[in-house]
Amino acid sequence: MALDILIVDDEQDIRDLVAGVLSDDGYETRTAATADEALQAYDERRPSLMLLDVWLRGSSMDGLELLKLIKERDPAMPVIVFSGHGNLDTAVAAISHGAVDFIEKPFEAEKLLHLVSRGTETERLRAENATLRAMVGHANELGGNSPSINAVRATLKKVANTGSRVMITGPAGVGKEVAARLLHSWSQRADAPFVSVSSARLAPDRFEEELFGIEENGQLLHAGMLERAHGGTLFLDEVGDMPWTTQGKILRVLTDQSFARVGGNRPVRVDVRIVSATGSNLVAEIEAGRFREDLYYRLNVVPVGIPPLADRREDIPVLALHYAALFANEHRISPPDFSDEALASMQSCEWPGNVRQLRNIIERTIILAPTDRLKCIEVDMLPSEVRGGGGETGGSVNAFMGAPLREAREAFEREYLNMQVKRFSGNISKTASFVGMERSALHRKLKLLGIAVRKMGDEDE
């Protein structure tokens, strides 16, 4: 989506010419002939950049005075000053008041486009840097080749350019924000801002100020996240924690893409795609009267459910190797490998914290492992919560020492087969092949040992 450029000049021919040049290059433009019109346009919606004439004949203030006022209200606002009667002193004054650049009229279209691109670059780079910092090490949380995660990626790619609203569901730690960022990066809005709002982290009394912004006496004091996301994507994380009064106001945004700032009445129009996420059961929240049913159906146009890590265990080796390489690079060591036993132990773990927990486990293991053993991560180097595989016995030989041989053997078989079945996501054919048993014999053994199989992966062959 296009960046929003505000052109302020007292000559209509200049306004039309500049607007035409910028529009042809893909920018969204608005124009103003006076300082008052410029301030009104700014208060209606914060632009991405302002092009400002020095003189502004017939206006309540000249361009430099307006520049100073704008910078007092919004120091981060990029402004380019231009003039047909400029000199070195004018240029110096403009830069000293906070302009990012100065250009003399008449100017070449290529030079103007270059300055506009450079003027918005700082803001774009700041947003891009924030996005990259949020994505570092997390992009591959949707990595792997399991059918479930392949289906998630396919859905995100298919819906990316439609503009439809998406609701991403799944337990904590599965990568819901990562999915939202991927959706944004694959869409036509990729060059515009991605703004994330955590409903769970914002205090209820400040939620609307942060989301909608603040206005006083018709003047913009603080641009909210909705306004800053203009042209891009607004991600509402843990939307189920949004205050009830705010839920009603979000409905208006979804209906006509406008809202009113806190302390103001004027409608602020934006072009924003809203993507939401939740780890809660919103249907239960609706029944309990804590979430609006009409909002739920407006947000949940395309549902995307991200499965817990325990339901896509075949992806664990891929994720483990990715994070091992990531943290090894941070510590300037060669990426370690994993022994088959270590991978099997990780695949049989329940992972209640999902991919986030796996990431933390790999980081902890690399930090605490002896330097001379970092070529290959062995099972004894993993934390006890992983080595136990989530089983009742914890995989320890000591658990069998107080039992007769027959009972100990049966307990070991139960623990071993239970871990292997989990490792292969309930796929009996793959489990039988690995443990060296016939499929029918494994079925009988599991039934004899009382092991219930919960199917999570591919269907048995």
Cα separation, 268 vs 336, in Å, equals 53
Give the 3-state secondary structure of residue 282. Answer: helix
Report residue 294 as tokens: 């009409």
Pairing of strands 268-269, 258-259: antiparallel
Predicted confidence at residue 118, as pLDDT, reads 87
Report residue 55 as tokens: 């003189």
Nearest CA to 425 among 451, 449, 459, 393?
459
Predicted confidence at residue 393, as pLDDT, reads 40
- Give yes or no for a contact between 245 and 255, defined as CB atoms under 8 angstroms apart: no
Q: Which amino acid is at 143?
A: G
Report residue 404 as tokens: 């007769």
- Give yes or no for a contact between 257 and 270, defined as CB atoms under 8 angstroms apart: yes
Nearest CA to 227 among 241, 239, 210?
210
A 10 A CB-CB count for 408 gives: 15
Beta strand ranges found along 10-98 (DSSP E): 28-32, 49-53, 79-83
For the chain, list residues with pLDDT below 50. Answer: 137, 389-395, 398, 401, 457-461
- Give yes or no for a contact between 281 and 270, defined as CB atoms under 8 angstroms apart: no
A 10 A CB-CB count for 348 gives: 26
How many CA atoms lie less than 13 Å away from 148 in the CB half-sphere? 19
pLDDT for 251-278, tens place per residue? 989 988 999 999 999 999 999 999 999 9
Report residue 272 as tokens: 């924003």
Beta strand ranges found along 337-458 (DSSP E): 337-338, 376-377
The gap from C-alpha 239 to its chain's centroid, in whole angstroms, comes to: 14
Nearest CA to 176 among 204, 196, 150?
196
Report residue 431 as tokens: 């489990």
**Phi, psi angle pair for 453, to nearest 5°:** -105, 120
Predicted confidence at residue 235, as pLDDT, reads 96
The gap from C-alpha 97 to its chain's centroid, in whole angstroms, comes to: 36
Cα separation, 255 vs 434, in Å, equals 55
Q: Which residue has the tokens 């300055």?
A: 115
Give the 3-state secondary structure of residue 332. Answer: coil
Nearest CA to 46 among 62, 59, 57, 30?
30
Predicted confidence at residue 458, as pLDDT, reads 45
Q: What would the DSSP string read from start to end of 75-135?
A: TT--EEEEESS--HHHHHHHHHTT-SEEEESS--HHHHHHHHHHHHHHHHHHHHHHHHHHH
Strand partners, 304: 168
